[in-house]
C-alpha cells in the first residue's frame, strides 16, 4: 500500500508539473506587466503605500482576504481551503535610494529610487504563486498566509509585522518560504545553503568624545580623531585574533565623521560600522569586544566616565537559518522537477535579510529562503572572462526578468504545494 501511495504521489506531482508549465506561460504576460510597473514606480522603505495597494488589489482579485496597513504598509493575505498546514510566503515591497542607469524602457520614474535588489521580481513571483495555488486549490487543503513586507532594505519590516501581532492574529504557520534573486548566478538556476545561509548583521554607531582645541597645541586636548584611529585599528584585530578562524566574520568601518578645519581638533568624532557573522555567539563576542576596546582605549586617553565612547546598535538582523530538514525535503523535490543541474548548493552569503525573523520567534517556524539566479546569458559570458559585472544594489543591475520570474514561481509554487499535500 505504501509503495502504491508513493507511486501515486509521484504521478500526481508529475502531472502537476505539466499543469504548471502550461499555467505559468499563460500568466507570465500579466506578471511581466506587473513587474515593469513595480520597477517604474519604486518606493523607499516605510513609504511603500502604492506598491502595497497594488499587491493587495492583485491578491483580492485572486480570492484572498487581505488586511492592509498592517504595521506601516505591510499587508497580509489569507486563503483558507479546509483543514491542513499553514504556509507563509513572504515578499518584500521596498526599493533602494539609487538613481537608475540601466537604460531600460521601463526604468524608474521616481528619481533617485530603484528596484536594484530584485524586489520587483520577488513581488511578481509572489503574485504568480498566489494565482497558481488559488487556481488549483481543488488539489490541496490548508491555509496560505501571504505576507507583503515593508522595510526589508533597512532590516526592520519583518520585526515590525511580528511585533504588531502577525502570528497572534493570523496563527503560527507550519512553514515559511521566500526567495531572493542571486546576482552572479545564471537565470534558470536555483541555489541554496542549509543552516545559517545569510549573515547576522548589525549597524553600530560610536560617538567618540574628546576635548578639542587648536591643532598647534595638541597637548592641551584629548584628540578624538587619534582616538578613533586607534579604535579602528583595534577593531580589525577582533576577527583576526579573537574569533576562531573557522567562524567567518567581518568588522567594517563604513564611515568617519569629524572635524571642520585643518587646524582645529574637534570635540567629537562619529564612526559607523557594520558587523557580519553567521554564528549568534560569534556575533555577540564581536559586539562585546567593540564595547570593551572602546571603553579601555578611551580610558587610556584620559577620558572621564561621562566622556567614554557611546555605542548604539541599530538595524540588528539575525542570520537567515534554512531549516535543514525542510531544505532537504524541498531541494529533493526541485531537483526531480527542474533537474539536478539546475539546483545547486552554494556558499553562504554575507548579506543580511530580515526574512530570518519569521523563523526566530519562540515557535521556531521551519523556514527556507531559496536564491533564484538572475543573470542574463551575456552577463555570465562576461563573468566567465573575468570581467566585473553589476551586482544587486548597483545602478545598472540588469537581471533576466522572464527567466528569474518563471523559475521563482515554479520553485515556490511546487514547494508550497508539496508541503500542503503532504500533511
If you search the block for the grid coordinates 514547494, which residue do you land on?
415
Q: How far apart are CA 126 and CA 408, in angstroms?
A: 9
Burial profile 1-26: b = 16 or more Cβ within 10 angstroms, e = fewer: eeeeeeeeeeeebeebeeebeebbee
Residues 352 and 198 sit within 8 Å (Cβ to Cβ): yes
CB neighbour list of residue 65: distance below 8 Å, 6 or more residues apart:
77, 78, 79
- Bridge partners of 90? 147
CB neighbour list of residue 35: distance below 8 Å, 6 or more residues apart:
120, 121, 123, 124, 401, 405
CB-facing half-sphere around the CA of 69: CA atoms within 13 A:
1
Say whether 315 is catalytic.
no
Residues 251 and 291 sit within 8 Å (Cβ to Cβ): no
Say whether 305 is catalytic.
no
Which entry of 43, 48, 92, 94 is annotated as an active-site residue?
Answer: 94
Q: Which of 268, 238, 242 is nearest to 253 (CA)?
A: 238
From residue 123, alpha-carbon distances to 131, 147, 189, 326 in Å are 12, 10, 19, 23
Residues 176 and 375 sit within 8 Å (Cβ to Cβ): no
Residues 289 and 275 sit within 8 Å (Cβ to Cβ): no
Which entry of 58, 152, 354, 400 is annotated as an active-site residue?
Answer: 152
- Bridge partners of 322? 195
Q: Catalytic residue positions?
A: 94, 152
Amino acid at each position: 500500500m505504501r509503495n502504491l501511495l508513493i507511486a501515486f504521489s509521484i504521478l500526481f506531482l508529475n502531472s502537476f508539473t505539466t499543469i504548471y508549465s502550461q499555467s505559468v506561460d499563460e500568466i507570465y504576460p500579466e506578471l511581466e506587466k506587473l513587474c515593469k510597473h513595480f520597477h517604474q514606480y519604486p518606493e523607499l522603505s516605510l513609504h511603500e503605500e502604492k506598491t502595497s495597494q497594488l499587491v493587495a488589489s492583485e491578491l483580492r482579485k485572486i480570492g484572498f482576504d487581505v488586511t492592509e496597513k498592517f504595521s506601516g504598509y505591510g499587508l497580509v493575505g489569507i486563503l483558507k481551503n479546509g483543514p491542513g498546514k499553514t504556509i507563509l510566503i513572504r515578499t518584500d515591497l521596498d526599493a533602494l535610494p539609487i538613481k537608475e542607469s540601466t537604460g531600460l524602457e521601463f526604468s524608474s520614474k521616481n528619481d533617485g529610487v530603484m528596484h536594484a535588489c530584485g524586489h520587483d521580481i520577488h513581488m511578481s513571483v509572489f503574485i504568480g504563486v498566489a494565482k497558481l495555488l488559488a487556481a488549483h486549490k481543488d488539489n490541496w487543503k490548508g491555509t496560505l498566509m501571504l505576507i507583503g513586507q515593508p522595510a526589508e532594505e533597512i532590516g526592520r519590516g519583518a520585526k515590525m509585522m511580528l511585533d504588531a501581532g502577525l502570528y497572534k492574529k493570523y496563527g503560527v504557520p507550519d512553514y515559511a518560504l521566500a526567495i531572493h534573486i542571486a546576482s552572479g548566478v545564471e537565470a534558470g538556476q536555483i541555489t541554496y545553503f542549509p543552516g545559517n545561509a545569510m549573515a547576522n548583521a548589525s549597524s553600530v554607531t560610536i560617538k567618540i568624545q574628546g576635548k578639542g582645541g587648536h591643532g598647534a597645541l595638541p597637548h592641551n586636548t584629548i584628540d578624538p580623531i587619534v582616538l578613533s584611529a586607534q579604535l579602528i585599528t583595534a577593531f580589525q584585530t577582533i576577527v583576526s585574533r579573537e574569533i576562531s578562524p573557522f567562524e567567518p566574520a567581518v568588522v567594517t568601518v563604513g564611515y568617519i565623521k569629524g572635524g571642520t578645519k585643518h587646524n582645529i581638533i574637534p570635540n567629537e568624532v562619529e564612526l559607523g560600522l557594520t558587523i557580519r557573522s553567521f554564528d549568534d555567539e560569534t556575533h555577540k563576542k564581536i559586539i562585546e569586544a567593540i564595547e570593551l576596546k572602546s571603553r579601555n582605549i578611551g580610558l587610556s586617553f584620559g577620558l572621564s566616565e561621562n566622556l567614554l565612547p557611546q555605542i548604539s546598535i541599530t538595524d540588528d538582523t539575525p542570520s537567515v537559518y534554512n531549516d535543514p530538514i525542510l531544505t532537504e525535503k524541498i531541494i529533493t523535490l526541485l531537483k526531480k522537477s527542474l533537474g539536478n543541474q539546475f539546483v545547486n548548493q552554494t556558499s553562504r552569503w554575507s548579506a543580511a535579510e530580515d526574512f530570518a525573523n519569521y523563523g526566530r520567534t519562540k515557535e521556531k517556524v521551519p523556514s527556507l529562503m531559496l536564491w533564484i539566479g538572475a543573470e542574463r546569458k551575456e552577463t555570465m559570458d562576461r563573468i566567465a572572462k573575468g570581467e566585473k559585472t553589476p551586482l544587486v544594489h548597483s545602478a545598472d543591475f540588469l537581471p533576466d526578468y522572464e527567466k528569474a520570474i518563471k523559475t521563482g514561481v515554479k520553485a515556490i509554487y511546487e514547494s508550497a504545494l508539496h508541503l500542503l499535500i503532504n500533511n
